[in-house]
Amino acid sequence: MNSKSSIHGLLFEELAAFCREHGQPAFRAKQIWGWLYAKRVASFDEMKNLPAPLRNLLGEHFCFQCLEKIETKGATGQTQKLLLKLEDDELIEAVLIPARARRTVCISSQVGCKMACAFCASGQCGFHRNLTAGEMVEQVLFAAEIYGERPTNVVYMGVGEPLDNYDETLKSIRILNHPDGLGIGARKITISTSGVIPGIERLAGEGLQVELSVSLHASENELRSKLMPSNKRWPLNALLQACSDYTAKTKRIITFEYTLIKGMNDLPEQAQKLTELLRKFPCRVNLIPLSEVEEFNGERATPEAMQYFFKTLEKAGINATLRDSKGSALKAACGQLRARKL
Ligand code: SF4
- pLDDT tens for 148-169 read 999 999 999 999 999 999 999 9
Q: Assess whether pLDDT exceeds 50 at residue 133.
A: yes
Residues 138 and 287 in one domain: yes
- Using CA atoms of 185, 39, 42, 35 in order, give the dihedral in degrees to the nearest 10: -90
Mean pLDDT, to the nearest integer, of 78-107?
95
| C-alpha distances in Å from residue 312, one per residue of 64, 170, 267, 283, 342 | 51, 36, 11, 15, 39
Residues 31 and 109 in one domain: no
Measured by CA distance, the residue closest to atom 7 of ligand 1 is: 160
What does the pLDDT read at residue 341?
45
The overall average pLDDT reported for the chain is 93
What does the pLDDT read at residue 280?
81
Residues 27 and 95 in one domain: no
Q: Is 341 part of a structural domain of the chain?
A: no
Q: Name the DSSP letter for residue 164.
A: G
Please tell me the distance between residue 16's alpha carbon and the centre of ligand 1 in angstroms.
36
Number of domains in the chain: 2
| CA nearest neighbour of 48 among 63, 60, 61, 34 | 34
Q: Which one of 106, 107, 117, 129 would you pick to mutate in the ligand 1 pocket, going by the greatest count of ligand atoms within 8 A of its CB? A: 117
Measured by CA distance, the residue closest to atom 4 of ligand 1 is: 117
Please tell me the distance between residue 237's alpha carbon and the centre of ligand 1 in angstroms.
20
Decide: helix, strand or coil at residue 111: strand
- pLDDT tens for 323-337 read 876 655 555 555 555
Q: Is 337 part of a structural domain of the chain?
A: no
Please tell me the distance between residue 160's alpha carbon and the centre of ligand 1 in angstroms.
6
Contact at 8 Å (CB) between 275 and 287? no
| C-alpha distances in Å from residue 337, one per residue of 94, 220, 266, 330 | 9, 27, 24, 10
Q: Is 340 part of a structural domain of the chain?
A: no
Residues 256 and 139 in one domain: yes
Atom number of ligand 1 nearest to Cα 116 = 5
What does the pLDDT read at residue 11?
98
The number of residues in the chain equals 342
Range of lowest pLDDT (87-96, 134-143, 164-173, 319-328): 319-328
Q: Assess whether pLDDT exceeds 60 at residue 19.
A: yes
Residue 234 CB coordination number (10 Å): 20
Ligand 1 shell residues, CB under 6 Å: 113, 115-117, 120, 122-123, 159-161, 194, 335
What does the pLDDT read at residue 324?
75
Q: Assess whether pLDDT exceeds 70 at residue 123.
A: yes
Residues 48 and 124 in one domain: no
Among 17, 40, 63, where does a domain finish? 63
What does the pLDDT read at residue 331?
58
Please tell me the distance between residue 259's alpha carbon and the centre of ligand 1 in angstroms.
12
CATH code, domain carrying 222: 3.20.20.70
CATH code, domain carrying 18: 1.10.150.530
Among 39, 63, 87, where does a domain finish? 63
pLDDT classification of 38: cutoffs 50, 70, 90? very high
Rounded to 5°, angle at Cα 135 from 294 and 29: 160
- pLDDT tens for 165-183 read 999 999 999 999 999 989 9
Q: Which residues are catalytic?
A: 93, 334
Atom number of ligand 1 nearest to Cα 161 = 3
Q: Assess whether pLDDT exceeds 90 at residue 292.
A: no
Q: Assess whether pLDDT exceeds 90 at residue 339.
A: no
Residues 159 and 227 in one domain: yes
Q: Name the DSSP letter for residue 131.
A: P
Mean pLDDT, to the nearest integer, of 134-145?
97
Residues 53 and 73 in one domain: no
Q: Assess whether pLDDT exceeds 50 at residue 342.
A: no
Residues 33 and 177 in one domain: no
Please tell me the distance between residue 230's alpha carbon and the centre of ligand 1 in angstroms.
10
Mean pLDDT, to the nearest integer, of 204-219?
96
Residues 38 and 126 in one domain: no
Which range marks the domain in which residue 38 is found? 5-63
Residues 210 and 297 in one domain: yes
Range of lowest pLDDT (23-32, 62-71, 321-330): 321-330
Residues 73 and 152 in one domain: yes
Q: Is 127 part of a structural domain of the chain?
A: yes
Residues 18 and 35 in one domain: yes
Measured by CA distance, the residue closest to atom 5 of ligand 1 is: 123
Mean pLDDT, to the nearest integer, of 244-266?
96
Contact at 8 Å (CB) between 128 and 112? yes
Q: Which one of 93, 106, 122 would you pick to mutate in the ligand 1 pocket, going by the greatest count of ligand atoms within 8 A of its CB? A: 122
